[in-house]
Amino acid sequence: MMKGSLRLARIAGIDIGIHYTWILIFVLITWSLAVYFPVQYPGWTTLTYWLTAVVAALLLFVSVLLHELAHSLVAKSRGLPVKSITLFLLGGVSNLESEPEKPGVEFVVAIVGPLSSVALAGIFWVINFLGWAPDGPVKATTEYLVDINVLLAAFNILPGFPLDGGRVLRSIIWGATNNLKKATNIASTVGQVFGWLMIAGGVFMALSGELMSGIWLAFIGWFLNGAAEASRRELEMRTMWLNVRVSTVMNDRVETADPNSPIETLVNEVYVKKGIRVAPIAEEGRLLGIATLSDIKKVPANEWRNTPVSTVMTRMPLQTVKPDDNMSVAVQIMAEHGLNQLPVVVEDRIVGMLCRADIIRYVQVHYELGKR
């Protein structure tokens, strides 16, 4: 789940949460609807307009959630683990723990989102057509939900990565060329083109007097442009790690500390002398835990001499990797858990440490040598 998010529920094993930016967009949409409804549906009380706006805004995000659930449930049915769905400023995002390995799987997972939005629009249209929604706030809300789900489907089907339509485009090119990198580059480029077009359109609208709409469109374009470039770089990074083992990048000259030694010894002999910020705590080579500068700072300095390291270390079980593990696995673990380092173990014995600094150094050398 995105940082800064609050977990609300769990559906089909998937955590559902909202990011703090969702509150901002919810307030803006509610306010805009409270202004829009009096123009389209005169004669209600002020309270009715605001209550209808709140309900309509909430149902908009229920629609977004159902859109993302469609992606997630289909992904799970195809063997792709889904960790969470987060509603945020620009809608919703499904956190798949791995990417599809076949173009056909990506096509199905991507296309089901816009199809679900079309289906929702159809359901609300039928409710109105058959007269099941009474006149007044209920009818106004269902009419709004028809329009907004059509717009949601139309926007997401744009063939610019990483929108759903961009993923559909990538899957088609990937299937035709059997080249994921080429497909991603093309789909990302199209995504950036759409991003720049939205930015230009937003600027034009702002200069034409539609300031807020123009700013909002330009912001979406900026986000799409950045997301497309980030997706391209992410694939390059994943491709780079495909044939790299943890043993290639890790530091095998690991400095361990005894759990019974005083904190003062660890600070002076490891942190200060060696310039290390985290130390594995081991006994006869067997990993027991790790101690970081943050752990040490919990104890007053005047107590370091008489306090054993074991009292402050983070104990096993810890996130670890093996020397023969693929680096993509290690990078994913560090990203998911917000870690700066990983102990490298064989069975329960420490054989090295993999730190972000080691990874950055490897990437820098990799790129300077032109190995992309």
Half-sphere CA count of 164, side-chain side, radius 13 A: 24
Contact present, 116 and 70 (Cβ < 8 Å): yes
Q: Given 68, 143, 255, 284, which residue is catalytic?
A: 68
Nearest to 19 by CA among 2, 36, 33: 2
Instruction: Give bridge partners of residue 86 from the DSSP assignment.
Output: 17, 93
Please list, residue by residue across 172-189, b when 16 or more beta carbons sit within 10 angstroms of its beta carbon and e when fewer do: bbbeeeeebeebbbbbbe
- Whether 68 is catalytic is yes
Please give the structure tokens belonging to residue 193: 């083109």
Instruction: Give bridge partners of residue 343 from the DSSP assignment.
Output: 353
| Sequence letter at residue 4 | G
Contact present, 191 and 160 (Cβ < 8 Å): yes
How far apart are the C-alpha atoms of 111 and 180, rounded to whole Å?
Answer: 18
**What does the DSSP 8-state code read for residue 38?**
H
Q: Which residues are catalytic?
A: 68
